[in-house]
Amino acid sequence: MANEDYQLRHLRSTLSKMEIALSAVKECIVWTDGKGRIKWCNEALEVLLGQPRLMLLSASLAHKLPLWLEGEAVEMSQHPVTIALETHQSGTQCYEFQASEQTHILEISWAFVEIDQQGILEHEEGSVLVLRDVTQQYLAERQLQGSKKHLEEQVAQRTQELRETNTRLQRESEQLQRLLRELQDTQAQLIQAEKMSSLGQLVAGVAHEINNPVSFIYGNLSHLQGYIADILHILHLYQQHYPNPVIEIQEASDDADLDFIQIDLLKILDSMQIGTDRIQEIVLSLRNFSRLDEAEFKRVDLHEGIESTLLILQHRLKQQPNRPEIQIVRHYGQLPQVECLAGQLNQVFMNLLSNAIDALEEVSQPQITIQTCVIGNSVEITIADNGSGISETVRAKIFNPFFTTKPIGKGTGMGLSISYQLIVEKHHGKLECFSREGEGAEFLIRVPIHQRIHSQI
């Protein structure tokens, strides 16, 4: 009996010390019986609920501590004390609790408690709950999340602005690059057009200056032939009726070799006729090449343009110190007259033929083959050489402005670029290059026979 009294006093002393210690804890600690009624709580729960302990003991914890979860009231069956008692499991969950017009965020941990019949205590079931006020932490976390979200929104907005700015700058950069290329192309075209215009004016001027005196010679040559024929006829009559002239006339006739003069004079007249005919053909070719009066689309014979260009380049086709004469092989088909800007097409022929001649500088048997034919509603002209050919790398860039493989001073890199624009953009046609190294190069021109839009240049 004395031993039991001692144990009881010792237990009471221990419980008193535990209560003092638990009262100093900031967290709310509550112990309920098996029906969820409060059997013990520390001072922190009194402060939280605003009621003294005597009013709390034996009261239902679920009624004294109504909870909210995600804006909705927690039902009795979902209250932590009910979960602990019914499931015999422990857990932790954050809830909202309204007290004194202030909302608290409580982190509640619960556990089922079972006390066996040992010593002086009877078997009993209950629950223990620990309530920790995490309102400040929750608010700080929400503020941090809000700040984080705001910062993320600002970063996203700034990132979007930077992307839009970068896209706009990239677009402007591409536009400026395109404008620069167009300006360079336009400048090069103006320079080349000015050169071709100067060349055309020079050719037209030379043709005009040659044509005037040649016309005088050509026009009087027929009269001269008639006059000389009459004189020779009279001379023959004189020799027939006066076969024995005086000695002085006979000696002068023998010294001049009158018989030879009569024969050679006719040959000289024939040579003069052939020469003037050839000069007239050259003048006509020069005028056809220049075509200064044709600034609109007109129907022309492309063969005339090709032949006029070959005539202009005749001096380059002849034998040179480093190569023999370039042979021109013609395979002309039956072409209709083509609607085109004749002067510009002649410029294209000039560029392609000049490049072909440049490619044949060191070829032992140089040859340029020109072929024409009709393909559907278009005409096709191919200009091929048997030079060293073009590599695939060079061929891919051959129509780019300012691209050239020629030494400095021998090429501007604009001839093929301008030719491409004249054929593709001005005539709605096609200009292609086919070549392999060591197998020569072939340029194919295809232009419509009839232009859909008549543009004035």
Tell me the pLDDT tens digit for each residue of 70-97.
888 999 999 999 999 999 989 999 999 9
CA–CA separation, 237 and 187 (whole Å): 73
Contact 373/421 with Cβ under 8 angstroms? no
- The more confident residue out of 271 and 409 is 271
Sign of the four-CA dihedral 348, 344, 414, 394: negative
Measured CA distances, 5 to 2, 8, 10, 12, 213 (Å): 5, 5, 8, 11, 156
Q: What pLDDT, on a 0 to 100 scale, did the predictor assign at position 122? A: 57
Q: How far is CA 431 from CA 128, 147, 436, in A?
A: 93, 63, 17
Q: Which of these ranges, 52-56, 194-198, 212-216, has the smallest mean pLDDT?
A: 194-198
Among 316, 296, 314, smallest CA distance to 306 is for 314
Q: Is 43 exposed, middle or buried (0-12, 13-18, 19+ CB in 10 A)?
A: middle
131 has which bridge partners? 28, 108
- Tell me the two tokens of residue 11: 């237990």
Q: Which residues, other chains included, contact 5 with Cβ-Cβ below 8 Å and sequence gap of 6+?
A: none
Joined together, the tokens standing for residue 88 give: 């015999």
Rounded to whole angstroms, the Cα distance separating 109 from 329 reads 103
Other Cβ atoms less than 10 A from the Cβ of 423: the count is 21
Check residue 329 and give its pLDDT.
93
**What's the pLDDT tens digit per position in 217-252?**
777 777 888 888 888 888 888 888 888 888 888 888
Taking the CB of residue 447, how many other CB atoms lie within 10 A of it?
Answer: 24
pLDDT surpassing 90 at residue 382: yes
Q: How far is CA 425 from CA 112, 337, 444, in A?
A: 90, 20, 16
What pLDDT score does 457 carry? 41
pLDDT at 180: 85
Average pLDDT in the 280-284 region? Answer: 69
Calpha distance 315→273 (Å, rounded): 24
For residue 239, what are the CA distances in angstroms to 230, 247, 249, 254, 400? 14, 14, 11, 13, 77
CA 263 → CA 243, 275, 336, distances in Å? 19, 19, 47
How much of the chain exceeds pLDDT 90, in percent?
A: 21
